[in-house]
A = this chain, B = another copy of it.
Amino acid sequence: MPEQPIVDGAPVPSKSELKKRAKALEKEKKAAEKAAKQQEQAMAQAAADVDFAKECYGPLPLNQSQSRPRRPRVNISSLPSRDGDVVLLRARVQTSRAQGNKMVFLNLRQRTDTVQALLVVTPEKISKQMVKWAGGLADESVVLVEGIVRKAPEPIKSASVSDVELHISQLHLISGIDGRLPFSVEDASRPDIDDDQLESTDTQFKRVLLKTRLDHRIIDLRTQANQAIFKLQGAIGDLFRQYLGANGFTEIHSPKLQGAATESGASVFKVSYFKGNAYLAQSPQLAKQMAIAADFERVYEIGPVFRAEDSNTHRHLTEFIGLDLEMTIEEHYHEVMELLDGLFLSIFRGLRESYKNEIDLVGRQFPADEFKWREGSEGTLKLTFKDAIDMLVEDGVPREELDDINTENEKRLGRLVKAKYDTDYFIIDKFPMALRPFYTMPDPEDPTLSNSYDFFMRGEEILSGAQRIHDPNLLADKMRSKGVDPESMQPYLDAFRMGCVPHGGGGIGLERVLMLFLKLNNIRRASLFPRDPKRLEP
Contact = CB atoms under 8 A, between A and B. Distances in A.
Contacts of A234: 250-252
Copies in the complex: 2
A163 interface: no
A174 B501 contact: yes
A510 B379 CA distance: 40
Interface in A337-375: none
Nearest to A495: B218
Given A110-B297, A269-B272, 6 more contacts: A92-B295, A109-B295, A177-B498, A178-B497, A216-B498, A234-B250
A306 to B, nearest CB: 7
12 contacts: A65-B444, A66-B444, A138-B499, A140-B498, A174-B501, A219-B498, A222-B295, A227-B296, A230-B296, A256-B304, A258-B536, A270-B271
A233 B291 CA distance: 14
A473 B178 contact: yes
Given A63-B502, A295-B92, A310 B274 contact: yes
B65 A332 contact: yes
A500 interface: yes
Contacts of A138: 499
Interface of A: 62-71, 73, 90, 92, 109-111, 138, 140-142, 174-179, 181, 216-219, 221-222, 226-227, 230-231, 233-234, 237-238, 241, 245, 250-260, 269-274, 278, 280, 287, 290-291, 293-297, 302-304, 306, 308, 310, 318-319, 321, 328-334, 441-444, 451, 467, 470-474, 491-492, 494-502, 510, 527-531, 533, 536-538
B255 A333 contact: no
Contact of A319 (B92, B241, B257, B333): B257
B295 A227 contact: yes
A271 B271 contact: yes
Given A296-B230, A303-B303, A528-B252, A533 B274 contact: yes
A330 B287 CA distance: 43
A275 to B, nearest CB: 9
Contacts of A219: 294, 498
Contact of A230 (B70, B178, B252, B273): B252
Contacts of A272: 269-271
Contacts of A111: 295-297
Contacts of A333: 65
B294 A217 contact: yes
A332 B528 contact: no
A179 B495 CA distance: 12
Contact of A271 (B70, B269, B303): B269
